[in-house]
Chains A and B, each alone.
Chain A
Amino acid sequence: EPEVTQTPSHQVTQMGQEVILRCVPISNHLYFYWYRQILGQKVEFLVSFYNNEISEKSEIFDDQFSVERPDGSNFTLKIRSTKLEDSAMYFCADRPEWGINSPLHFGNGTRLTVT
């Protein structure tokens, strides 16, 4: 069964550094999302992306964050200048179609640790 693939599985970075989290969505899926989960807490929406543009973003997704799909396969989340509070698990998710009933397919996540 096709999977959403995320790399790396774990990234450690120093405060103030830039990080890029990578995701390869399932082929022919059209809608892409980033979520984050601070340890032991709820899964929080960051951004949704369709047709090479952001369709919605949350308050968390400030100017430090950006997303792009540079080559039609990878879907990346960039954090320009990391803060300690950015430490979390970051999930990429996708789905094939619009509509109420299509579930999100999640990758296994990237655990980001900012020191």
Chain B
Amino acid sequence: AQKITQTQPGMFVQEKEAVTLDCTYDTSDPSYGLFWYKQPSSGEMIFLIYQGSYDQQNATEGRYSLNFQKARKSANLVISASQLGDSAMYFCAMREENNAGNMLTFGGGTRLMVKP
């Protein structure tokens, strides 16, 4: 079974509007972390935001926020006031505490395109 699922292969958003990118996850580990990364067309992986499974509040970093719904096992990324530079691939990832290598497992990504 997929550990991280991103159901939107591509999304369009109008500049200056907000957009939500979906991410659902599957784990039986009670302690885990969820991460979002941005990959522009230049290819680098840029860390955006983190949410811990025990965090009581939704994470926020500037224009990025996480809509964390633990019971539904979802961690959707919300980008407010979209900019043209937000056009990129976005990856959701999870780390499970009991995993020996403590690595991140990535979803398939969502390509966001911001329209002027």
Contact = CB atoms under 8 A, between A and B. Distances in A.
B102 A31 contact: yes
A56 B106 contact: no
A55 B99 CA distance: 10
* Chain B interface size range: 20 to 34
Contact of A56 (B93, B97, B103): B103
Contacts of B50: 101, 103
Q: Identify whether the interface residues of A are mostly helix, strand, loop, or mixed.
A: strand
* Chain A interface size range: 20 to 34
B104 A104 contact: yes
A33 B31 contact: no
Contacts of A31: 102
Nearest to A98: B102
B116 interface: no
A22 interface: no
A100 B52 contact: yes
Nearest to A33: B103
B47 interface: yes
A45 B104 contact: yes
A108 B102 CA distance: 21
Give the top 4 A-B pairs by smallest Cβ distance, nearest first: A56-B101, A48-B101, A106-B45, A100-B33
